[in-house]
């Protein structure tokens, strides 16, 4: 496959230890989608939208050029401050009041997708943060509902998850509920590698490839 | 719960609902705002709270997700309310580890007993007529089930003592059906919520069921939200149809402040479109052409309508067969009202004659109208709205 984008009506889990480059990988995916004229929603739980804008810019993606047109944030991060942040003009951000408001997160994603128009690609960064604020059982149901909604009605979703902080059972559950898993790791020499572990309905080369700094996509994995 | 006098009922502020509820929810009563998937049920609860504060009632809002400043800012989207009427129980400042000067503040969010003590204290001291608990899944997700159910009952008891109407928001992430039945049994009304996304459009609807034997039960009611207006009942796709030259476009025009018509030499060739807002009902109106050669358009529109206004010329019984055929195309499950238009013309038939001649089921609503003078048209829409909402 020459096209670096994932299929639509599809859900991907991106797993790797902290610092391995999940954010870079996610931004690379979003960038290719936006350049191809697709719509993108970025759900942030770990970073302030301004920080994402700045870090994406360093990775050759100017989000502000797309905001309000084909890109929107679902911001679950900012409201941890008690004041409502004023959205910058022309930028549409969907604010969720709390990490524990799973229902609010789900609805904000639907509204963002509706506002931008479907199909849309959703990047969820990261699902791990939810585990600090909610029971595993609640997250599992949320994950299942949101994944099926995203696949059926919105288009595509990728969740980033931190490797090594969740129990094996939890990771297996998350892996079982998506269509494909992309893994990232450090080698002995602290180089970074990426592979597509599996993708439902596709033959994939599941060998490890070096994860090169942008703008080259991971090993041409897809 | 049969009181009807002043102060015995709490209005939702959504007129068609209040009519269905015979003036509102009775005091005291317990409402379970329930869904098993993410929905916009918070809109209903927030609207309910703000409507109370606007009416000068003391309203208590227990918020586990938003700091009070944020909660108050978001609630003001539902309309301007007197600040002292709306009391927020602050369960968030301690989660964020920020200072709070709220009189009702939960200090230890990991202590179920303390959380509920603060809520009960607020109920006893403020004697609110409306209480919103936003939301119970926060507790269900953080504490053992039996302890949560015990405290749930305690809040219901305390609220009943001050004759409050209490809304418990609850999305079920963790409980089994058996526990849900117990929770439903604690409630006087269950308000269920659905949000669905189809073709990129998000649709919200709700259904009210009184738990009491033989109580009120509505159909799924579509609703919408607008800043500063709050929640309104909204009917997407009301179809105005009928035989050629019955006056469909005139009906659309007389219903809608603004409408557009795609017509040629006075007859509609594509469709009429408009929107209407009367007595708390908002509706989107489509008029279809009556000529048989445009039946393909009719079939496209008939797919997803919420109700039909069938316009006939009451003085032309020779067209009734065509009108009947149109009803058959729409199918058996869509509610409809017959508008006996041009009822001022000589030879116009009476509603019961029309029912007989068209071989319609007994009780089919037939409303005499004169669309050119806007007579009867809004009544017909109101009847249709009631049929869509439904009530047991």
pLDDT for position B260: 65
pLDDT for position A221: 41
B38, B69, B95 ranked by CB distance to A106: nearest: B38
Read off the pLDDT band of B270 (50, 70, 90): low
pLDDT for position B374: 86
Read off the pLDDT band of B198 (50, 70, 90): confident
Mean pLDDT of A195-205: 93
Cβ neighbour number for residue B325 with a 10 Å cutoff: 12
Would you say residue A4 has pLDDT above 70? no
Q: Return phi, psi of residue B66, to 5°.
A: -125, 140
pLDDT for position B305: 84
How far CA B18 is from CA of A36, B14, B189, B216, B233, in Å, comes to 50, 6, 14, 12, 12
Query: What's the predicted TM-score (pTM) here?
Result: 0.86
Contacts of A102 in chain B (CB under 8 A): 38, 137, 171, 173
Would you say residue A21 has pLDDT above 50? yes
pLDDT for position A87: 57
Please give, rounded to a whole number of angstroms, the shortest distance from the CA of A174 to a CA of chain B: 16
A5 domain residue, yes or no:
no
A82, A111, A134 ranked by CB distance to B93: nearest: A82
Read off the pLDDT band of B86 (50, 70, 90): very high
What residue numbers bound the domain in which A135 lies? 10-220
pLDDT for position A90: 63
Q: What is the fold, at CATH topology level, of the domain defined by B9-225?
A: Rossmann fold (3.40.50)
- Same topology between domain B9-225 and domain B234-389: yes
Mutation for B interface: A79, A101, A120, most B CBs within 10 A: A101
CATH of domain B234-389: 3.40.50.300
Query: Average model confidence (pLDDT) for chain B?
Result: 88
- Looking up residue A103, the CATH number of its domain turns out to be 3.40.50.300
Mean pLDDT of A170-177: 96
Residues A141, B64: C-beta atoms closer than 8 Å: no
Beta-strand ranges (E) seen in B199-335 are 201-210, 221-226, 230-241, 258-264, 267-278, 281-287, 307-313
pLDDT for position A218: 47
Residues A98, B66: C-beta atoms closer than 8 Å: yes
Q: Does the complex come out with an ipTM higher than 0.90?
A: no
Integer Cα distance of B32 and B219 in angstroms: 17
Would you say residue B277 has pLDDT above 80? no
* Contact between residue A210 and residue A191 where contact means Cβ atoms under 8 Å apart: yes
pLDDT for position B248: 86
Residues A100, B74: C-beta atoms closer than 8 Å: no
pLDDT for position A197: 94
The pLDDT tens digits for B126-170 are 999 999 999 999 999 999 999 999 999 999 999 999 999 999 999
DSSP state of A207: S
A97, A114, A149 ranked by CB distance to B200: nearest: A114
Mean pLDDT of B300-310: 82
Read off the pLDDT band of A222 (50, 70, 90): very low
Chain B residues at the A interface, defined by Cβ less than 8 Å, are 35, 37-40, 42, 64-70, 73-74, 92-93, 95-96, 98, 135, 137-138, 141-142, 171, 173-174, 195, 197-198, 200-202
Spans of all domains in chain B: 9-225, 234-389
Read off the pLDDT band of B62 (50, 70, 90): very high
Would you say residue B370 has pLDDT above 50? yes
Contacts of B38 in chain A (CB under 8 A): 102-107, 110, 142, 145-146
pLDDT for position A216: 45
pLDDT for position B392: 52
Mean pLDDT of B375-391: 87
DSSP state of B79: -
pLDDT for position B129: 97
Read off the pLDDT band of B356 (50, 70, 90): very high
A58 domain residue, yes or no:
yes
pLDDT for position B2: 39
Beta-strand ranges (E) seen in chain B are 9-10, 25-26, 29-35, 59-63, 86-90, 130-134, 165-171, 189-198, 201-210, 221-226, 230-241, 258-264, 267-278, 281-287, 307-313, 336-341, 366-368
A81, A100, A117 ranked by CB distance to B65: nearest: A100
- Closest A-chain CA to B110: A133
- Name the residue with higher pLDDT: B314 or B274: B314
A1 domain residue, yes or no:
no
pLDDT for position A84: 53
Mean pLDDT of A192-211: 93
What's the domain count of chain A?
Answer: 1
């Amino acid at each position: 496959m020459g096209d670096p984008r994932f299929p639509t009506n599809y859900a991907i889990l991106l797993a790797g230890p902290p610092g391995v480059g999940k954010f870079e990988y996610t931004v690379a995916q979003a960038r290719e989608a936006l350049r191809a004229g697709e719509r993108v929603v970025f759900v942030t739980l770990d970073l302030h939208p301004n920080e994402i804008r700045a870090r994406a810019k360093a990775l050759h993606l100017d989000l502000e050029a797309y905001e309000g047109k084909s890109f929107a944030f679902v911001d679950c991060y900012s409201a941890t401050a008690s004041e409502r942040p004023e959205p910058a003009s022309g930028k549409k951000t969907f604010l969720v009041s709390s990490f524990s408001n799973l229902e609010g997160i789900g609805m904000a994603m639907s509204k963002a997708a509706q506002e931008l128009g479907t199909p849309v690609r959703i990047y969820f960064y990261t699902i791990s943060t939810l585990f600090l604020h909610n029971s595993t059982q609640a997250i599992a149901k949320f994950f299942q509902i949101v994944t099926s909604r995203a696949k059926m009605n919105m288009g595509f979703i990728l969740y980033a998850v931190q490797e090594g902080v969740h129990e094996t059972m939890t990771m297996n559950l998350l892996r079982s509920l998506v269509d494909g898993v992309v893994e990232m790791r450090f080698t002995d020499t602290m180089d970074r590698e990426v592979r597509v572990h599996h993708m439902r309905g596709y033959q994939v080369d599941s060998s490890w490839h070096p994860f090169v700094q942008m703008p080259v996509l991971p090993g041409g994995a897809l | 719960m049969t009181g009807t006098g002043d102060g015995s009922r709490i209005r939702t502020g959504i007129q068609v609902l209040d009519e269905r509820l015979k003036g509102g929810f009775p005091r005291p009563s317990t409402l379970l705002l329930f869904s098993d998937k993410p929905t916009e049920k918070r809109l209903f609860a927030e609207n309910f709270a703000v409507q109370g504060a606007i009416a000068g009632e003391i309203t208590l809002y227990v918020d586990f997700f938003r700091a009070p400043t944020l909660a108050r800012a978001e609630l003001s989207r539902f309309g301007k309310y007197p600040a002292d009427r709306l009391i927020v129980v602050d369960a968030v400042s301690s989660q964020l580890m920020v200072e709070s000067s709220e009189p009702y503040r939960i200090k230890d969010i990991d202590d179920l007993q303390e959380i509920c003590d603060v809520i009960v204290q607020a109920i006893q001291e403020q004697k609110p007529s409306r209480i919103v608990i936003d939301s119970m899944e926060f507790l269900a997700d953080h504490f053992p089930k039996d302890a949560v159910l015990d405290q749930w009952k305690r809040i219901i008891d305390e609220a009943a003592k001050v004759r409050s109407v209490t809304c418990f928001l609850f999305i079920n992430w963790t409980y089994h059906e058996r526990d849900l039945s117990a929770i439903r049994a604690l409630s006087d009304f269950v308000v269920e919520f659905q949000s669905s996304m189809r073709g990129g459009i998000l649709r919200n609807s709700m259904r009210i069921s009184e738990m009491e034997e033989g109580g009120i039960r509505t159909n799924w009611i579509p609703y919408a939200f607008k800043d500063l207006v709050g929640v309104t009942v909204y009917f997407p796709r009301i179809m105005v149809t009928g035989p050629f030259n019955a006056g469909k476009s005139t009906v659309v025009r007389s219903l809608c402040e603004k409408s557009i018509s795609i017509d040629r030499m006075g007859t509609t060739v594509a469709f009429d479109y408009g929107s209407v807002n009367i007595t708390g009902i908002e509706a989107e109106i489509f008029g279809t052409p009556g000529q048989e050669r445009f039946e393909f358009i009719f079939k496209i529109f008939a797919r997803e309508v919420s109700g039909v206004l069938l316009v006939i010329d009451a003085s032309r019984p020779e067209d009734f067969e065509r009108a009947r055929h149109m009803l058959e195309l729409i199918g058996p499950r869509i509610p409809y009202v017959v508008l006996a238009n041009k009822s001022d013309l000589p030879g116009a038939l009476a509603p019961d004659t029309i029912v007989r001649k068209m071989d319609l089921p007994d009780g089919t609503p037939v409303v005499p109208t004169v669309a050119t003078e806007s007579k009867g048209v809004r009544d017909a829409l109101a009847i249709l709205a009631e049929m869509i909402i439904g009530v047991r």
